[in-house]
Amino acid sequence: MKIHLPDAVGACIEAIAGYFDAADLFYGHGTDSAGMEAQWLVTAVLTHDGVAGITANTPVSPGQRSRIASLAMQRINGRSPLAYLLQEAWFAGHCFYVDERVLVPRSPIAELVANHFQPLLEEAPAQILDLCCGSGCIGIACALAFPDSNVVLADLSADALAVAQVNIERFGLADRVSTCRSDLYDSISGAFDLVVCNPPYVPEDEFRELPPEYHREPAMGLVSEQSGLAIPLKVLAETGRHLHDQGLLVLETGYTWPALDAALPDVPLLWLEFEHGGEGVCALTAQQLRRYFPSQGQ
């Protein structure tokens, strides 16, 4: 197949969307339709060339058309999420560097960051931990939302931490954001006002059935044993002793949330609602964690 493109942005987006639709791609990595994905691709290529004020009539040069066509072919033939091909992902209004070493950022926690975790937090958090940080998107977005905070980005994957470090430097945050290689809390010291955690929570059998785009992501970012619950349960059990008394845990378990809820019938997990889509994020205070997970609590 050869991709032919018109020479204006609007028509180019329409043409790419048509190729994507025909290829029956899966959208779940920052966009939810062929049209959105085509718009991102075309505007990103022009923006990387320094083109500003892009409208439907903005001309697309032959060189730009050839790059757009080549990226579209890679998207179609390789089923790679577009974020990896462009090496960028938008999260909480910020553009992060990403590649195949990290999951493509898409957590609904972005909406909580944008709202400064209101009404869950009474005060701006000074010490923040992003556990299972991947690209560092959640922790770095928190650092940008709370300019007086110090943030630790922790992950078991050295590859992921290398990407997180690129993002720390991209946003000029090296003075107050650091990385830590840790198997959950094993190498984490100190206590925090806010722990944000989007851990792996996909059951192994469900992972095998996911569309090809998900198999381009690191499996250790997605899969968790015990029907997806092993890592979320460990996080719940261990966070109490890493929070200050007024601290808060915000934990994502995505569509595994009903299973977690059923496994912990006595724990008052507060499932949050999102205006811009997403589900399966709960909040628990330090006091609740210590009460309901006492053996690890203090």
Ligand X SMILES: C[S@@+](CC[C@H](N)C(=O)[O-])C[C@H]1O[C@@H](n2cnc3c(N)ncnc32)[C@H](O)[C@@H]1O
Using CB positions, name the residue nearest to ligand X.
Answer: 134
Closer to ligand X by Cβ: residue 65 or 106: 106
According to CB under 6 A, which one of 30, 81, 203, 221 is a site residue for ligand X? 221
Buried b (16+ CB within 10 A) or exposed e, 32-67: eebbbbbbbbbbbbbeeeebeeeeeebebeeebbeb
> Is residue 105 part of the contact set for ligand X (CB under 6 A)?
yes
Is residue 30 near ligand X by the rule CB under 6 A?
no
- Is residue 41 near ligand X by the rule CB under 6 A? no
Using CB under 6 A as the binding rule, whether residue 157 contacts ligand X is answered as: yes
Residue among 17 and 30 whose Cβ is closer to ligand X = 30
Residue 104 and residue 221: Cα distance in Å, rounded? 10
Closer CB to ligand X, 199 or 240, in the complex: 199
Does residue number 156 form part of the binding site for ligand X (CB under 6 A)? yes
Cβ atoms of 253 and 260 within 8 Å: the answer is yes
Per rule CB under 6 A, is residue 155 in the interface with ligand X? yes
At closest approach, how far in Å is the CB of 243 from ligand X?
Answer: 17
CA 13 to chain centre: 26
Positions 189 through 218 that interact with ligand X (CB under 6 A): 198-200
CB atoms within 10 A of CB 207: 16
Q: How far is CA 246 from CA 178, 251, 286, in A?
A: 23, 17, 6
Shorter beta-carbon distance to ligand X: residue 19 or 146: 146
Binding footprint of ligand X, residue count (CB under 6 A): 21
Strand pairing category for 127-131 and 150-155? parallel
Q: Measure the CA–CA gap between 102 and 124, rounded to whole angstroms.
A: 28
CB of 129 to ligand X, least distance (A): 11
107 binds ligand X (CB under 6 A): yes
| 155 vs 193, beta carbon nearer ligand X | 155
Q: Is 160 in the site for ligand X (CB under 6 A)?
A: yes
Q: x/- contact string, 125-154, with ligand X (CB under 6 A)?
A: -------xxxx-xx----------------
DSSP 156-201: S-HHHHHHHHHHHHHTT-TTTEEEEE-STTTT--S-EEEEEE----
Site string for ligand X, 49-88 (x = CB under 6 A): ----------------------------------------
Residues that bind ligand X (CB under 6 A): 102-103, 105, 107, 132-135, 137-138, 155-157, 160, 183-184, 198-200, 220-221
